[in-house]
Amino acid sequence: MAHKFSLYIRDENLSEVEKVVKRQELVKSSRVGDFQELFDINFPVEKAGSSNCENMIGSIEIPVGLVGPVKVKNFIDANKEGEISSIDDIFIPLATTEGALVASINRGCKALNLADNLSVVINKVGMARALVFRCDSTLEAYKFIDWMNKNIKTFADYCESTSKHLKFLTYQSFIRGRHVYLRFSFDTQEAMGMNMVTIALKYAWNKIEEDHKKVKLLSLSGNVCTDKKDSVLNRMFGRGFNVELEAFLSKEILADIFDVNAKDLVKSHVAKNLVGSNVAGSMAQNMHVANALAAFYIATGQDPAHVVGGSESSVTFEEDGDGLYVALTLPTVSVGSIGGGTWLPKQTQARSLILSGNDKENNLASSTILALCAGVAALAGEISGLCALTNNSLASAHQKLARCNFNLRGRTTNL
């Protein structure tokens, strides 16, 4: 029999803290168990309860590891006329419960540092949102797109008027029968920007809706954005940041750090990342980019659901003389330094490990540094992980680092 109470509390006279306490009492009255650890909260409840999480009852902690420092020898911000710079001493925080993941990525970073030739190119392609409209006919759909092509500046101006941090970049149009999909991309500066873009597009449509009686807005998101789903369009056009990385690892580095050679590594890459992905029907031609992105996103206050799009990345392993050429393309890295959960104290401190000095010394927006770190972590993980598969050390690494051989109960210890 269902308990007759509601976790949604409408009483506006209660503070968020009081609402949390009331919900906790409701939970304790309907469930048997000790929930004290779950009920402990170490961030400002008023802000989180009003902007980040409804029906709040507590919080979850995840261990955070740190990898690095790592050096990027050649960095190009494609949005700044291709100026080449170098970035030293980058640390990357990773929040995970998967044993061996941080150690593996750190080992990959060690190899990249020894190679001393890591290059990264970042292109901010903008946050995309695709509206879907229904027209009276396919003919009307083409007329609507023709109007938009001729009046895109007016529409973009309406969008940009909603925020000084928003700049229109481009758009694409698609027709399926009576349905029109318009995919708009915007530079949202330091924010990941999905909500900012959605609000702007709704406002712009409201301004022109009266002039289009035969066109109806069905949804502010028509799955052509594409948000948190697999997408060929995202691989073609990108979403958020497009990050390209490459490095060359000598045969000595491969042998000393990973106990592998380039020839065997490339065989594993072809069999797993290329042929295996094809057999599975997967567009993610990589080993485990999602692992690095998830850990980095959670540690730095990003929306972890964007791992879905981010994981559709392509890694390249090629023999180059006696050594190895490796590259990674991530067309959809959705990160920001403001908005969402980025304000949370621990996530803010985690980002400060990355950004201290680097964003100012290199005149880079902090969201760009975040995209760079996501890419470096992913590349390091791809190198180290595939090497472990190639020399059959993956299972033993997990046995050593990821297996808990003791039972520990009780509260955490302050060190």
CATH of residue 178's domain is 3.30.70.420
82: phi then psi, degrees, rounded to nearest 5: 70, 25
Extract the tokens encoding 279: 């057999």
In a domain, 407, yes or no: no
pLDDT in the model for residue 413 = 40
326, 362 contact by CB (below 8 A)? no
Please indicate, yes or no, whether residues 170 and 292 belong to a single structural domain of this protein: no
Per residue in 37-90, pLDDT tens? Answer: 999 999 999 999 989 999 999 999 999 999 999 999 999 999 887 788 999 889
Rounded to 10 degrees, the C-alpha dihedral 264/270/271/272 comes to 100
Mean per-residue pLDDT, 88-95: 94
339: phi then psi, degrees, rounded to nearest 5: 90, 165
Q: What's the CA gap between 281 and 278, in Å, rounded?
A: 5
* Strand pairing class (64-77; 84-95): antiparallel
Please indicate, yes or no, whether residues 47 and 114 belong to a single structural domain of this protein: no
373, 88 contact by CB (below 8 A)? no
> Please, where are the H alpha helices in 209-357?
232-237, 251-253, 262-269, 277-280, 289-300, 307-310, 345-355
Q: What's the CA gap between 84 and 81, in Å, rounded?
A: 9
151: phi then psi, degrees, rounded to nearest 5: -125, 25
3-state secondary structure of 258: helix
In a domain, 411, yes or no: no
Per residue in 269-317, pLDDT tens? Answer: 999 999 999 999 999 999 999 999 999 999 999 999 999 999 999 999 9
> Please, where are the H alpha helices in 3-137?
16-30, 36-39, 45-51, 101-115
Please indicate, yes or no, whether residues 378 and 292 belong to a single structural domain of this protein: yes
**Domain span including residue 352:** 64-124+240-401
The answer to pTM > 0.85 is yes
Give the end of a domain, one of 184, 219, 254. 219
pLDDT in the model for residue 3 = 57
Q: What's the CA gap between 247 and 159, in Å, rounded?
A: 40
Per residue in 364-379, pLDDT tens? Answer: 669 999 999 999 999 9
Residue 143 pLDDT > 70? yes
Q: What's the CA gap between 176 and 241, in Å, rounded?
A: 28
In a domain, 9, yes or no: no
Residue 401 pLDDT > 70? no
Extract the tokens encoding 28: 């304790």
pLDDT in the model for residue 414 = 42
Q: Which residue has the tokens 């990264």?
A: 120
Please indicate, yes or no, whether residues 83 and 108 belong to a single structural domain of this protein: yes
In a domain, 233, yes or no: no
Please indicate, yes or no, whether residues 183 and 279 belong to a single structural domain of this protein: no
Give the end of a domain, one of 186, 219, 252. 219
Residue 258 pLDDT > 70? yes
The number of folded domains in the chain is: 3
* Strand pairing class (64-77; 119-135): parallel
Q: What's the CA gap between 94 and 71, in Å, rounded?
A: 18
Please indicate, yes or no, whether residues 293 and 358 belong to a single structural domain of this protein: yes
Per residue in 106-132, pLDDT tens? Answer: 999 999 999 999 999 999 999 999 999
Q: What is the CATH number of the domain that holds 354?
A: 3.90.770.10
Please indicate, yes or no, whether residues 209 and 268 belong to a single structural domain of this protein: no
In a domain, 415, yes or no: no
pLDDT in the model for residue 200 = 98
128, 225 contact by CB (below 8 A)? yes
Stated as kind and residue range, the H or E segment containing 214 is: none
- Of residues 108, 171, 130, 128, the one with CA closest to residue 332: 128
Please classify residue 217 by burial: count the beta carbons closer than 10 Å to its beta carbon, then call 0-12 exposed, 13-18 middle and 19+ buried.
middle
In a domain, 7, yes or no: no
Please indicate, yes or no, whether residues 270 and 323 belong to a single structural domain of this protein: yes
Stated as kind and residue range, the H or E segment containing 83 is: none
Please indicate, yes or no, whether residues 252 and 267 belong to a single structural domain of this protein: yes
Q: What's the CA gap between 366 and 372, in Å, rounded?
A: 10
Which amino acid is located at 116 in the chain?
A: D
In a domain, 107, yes or no: yes
Q: Which residue has the tokens 């401190």?
A: 349
User: Which residues are identified as catalytic?
Assistant: 98, 303, 398
Please indicate, yes or no, whether residues 143 and 98 belong to a single structural domain of this protein: no
Please indicate, yes or no, whether residues 130 and 112 belong to a single structural domain of this protein: no
Q: What's the CA gap between 122 and 82, in Å, rounded?
A: 10
Rg of the chain, C-alpha, whole Å = 24
Mean per-residue pLDDT, 129-153: 97
pLDDT in the model for residue 392 = 83
Residue 409 pLDDT > 60? no
Per-residue exposure over 32-64, b if at least 16 CB sit within 10 Å of its own CB, e if not: eeeeeeebeeeeebeebbeeeeeebbbbeeeeb
In a domain, 5, yes or no: no
Please indicate, yes or no, whether residues 215 and 104 belong to a single structural domain of this protein: no
CB count in 10 Å sphere of residue 206: 11
